[in-house]
Amino acid sequence: MNEPTMLESINSAPDIVSLVSYIPIPGYGVLPVNAFVIKAREPVLVDTGMTSVRSDFMRNLRAAIDPKDLRWIWLTHIDMDHIGNLEAVLAEAPDARVVTSFIGMAKMGLHGLPLDRVFLLNPGQALDVGDRQLLAIKPPTYDAPETTGLFDQKSSTFISADSFGAILEKPVDNAVDINSKDLREGSQLWASIDAPWLSVVDHDKFGNTLSAIEKLNADIILSSHLPPAENMCKTLLNILSKADQTPVFVGPDQHALEKMMAA
């Protein structure tokens, strides 16, 4: 796998379809990049994938749901692996509003994205999508201040944005299929890349944020950067509880990169 690749969609939770893709990380492995369709009475698309796989992303989205039926596009944050196909989706989803925060809206403006359909929501508030409430949650780790995940009580699923991601050796269908050493090392490596501030946080205070997530009692965790994880909340929280002791990630410099490319 040498370039971003879109794979087939999978049913990852009751009423939720994962739109699955992967980015190669030379020298390290692959990073999953997932968006999600929640088939609520008012259907929701969570994130819009990467521009580099646009035609496959749109095809998989159309196979999961008629985009015209979408009522909400929930942007977990305004990173390019999450907003890459926003304009393409908006063009096919005329009745969808874009859920983000005030900071998210400002960053959308910086990207030249349309703001006329924005709907502002903050962590702690809930979005009513007809047959369920989606509770906006600040995940325990993130790389952007606007990051907002969500808890779907009806399916007991926590959609956690960048949090709980892992760099993997190769694509897998379910997080439970990753052996525990690879999951721990891949998760802590990803956390050190995505949230380098972990190395300077107060360990106990960070523990409190993890406890708050544990209290959600989510049966399923759907991370943007991990295959679906069922009944793994405690395992993933335990891994993350030690991520603040992982050395801060320093990427290869030019010399090392040239050696890697030659190899």
- CB of 239 vs Fe ion, minimal distance in Å: 18
- Closest residue by Cα to residue 223 from 163, 177, 169: 163
- CB of 249 vs Fe ion, minimal distance in Å: 14
- CB of 25 vs Fe ion, minimal distance in Å: 13
- CB of 229 vs Fe ion, minimal distance in Å: 16
> Segment contacting Fe ion (CB under 5 A): 57-65, 108-116, 121-129, 217-225?
217-225
> Segment contacting Fe ion (CB under 5 A): 13-21, 112-120, 224-232, 250-258?
224-232
> Segment contacting Fe ion (CB under 5 A): 6-14, 118-126, 157-165, 252-260?
157-165
Contact with Fe ion (CB under 5 A) among 137, 162, 175, 227: 162
- Closest residue by Cα to residue 201 from 145, 149, 245: 245
Q: Which C-beta is closer to Fe ion: that of 23 or that of 183?
A: 23
Whole-angstrom Cα distance, residue 97 to residue 86?
11
Strands 118-120 and 126-128, bridge-based pairing: unpaired
Contact with Fe ion (CB under 5 A) among 143, 182, 219, 230: 143
Q: Which C-beta is closer to Fe ion: that of 15 or that of 143?
A: 143
- CB of 151 vs Fe ion, minimal distance in Å: 19
- CB of 35 vs Fe ion, minimal distance in Å: 11
Q: Which C-beta is closer to Fe ion: that of 96 or that of 193?
A: 193
Give strand pairing partners of 73.
45, 98
Q: Does 81 bind Fe ion (CB under 5 A)?
A: yes
Q: Which C-beta is closer to Fe ion: that of 101 or that of 224?
A: 224
- CB of 255 vs Fe ion, minimal distance in Å: 28
Which residue has its beta carbon closest to Fe ion? 79
Task: Find all residues with CB under 8 Å of 189, minimum gap 6, and list them.
Answer: 28, 166, 167, 246, 249
Contact with Fe ion (CB under 5 A) among 42, 47, 56, 79: 79
Binding interface with Fe ion (CB under 5 A): 79, 81, 143, 162, 224
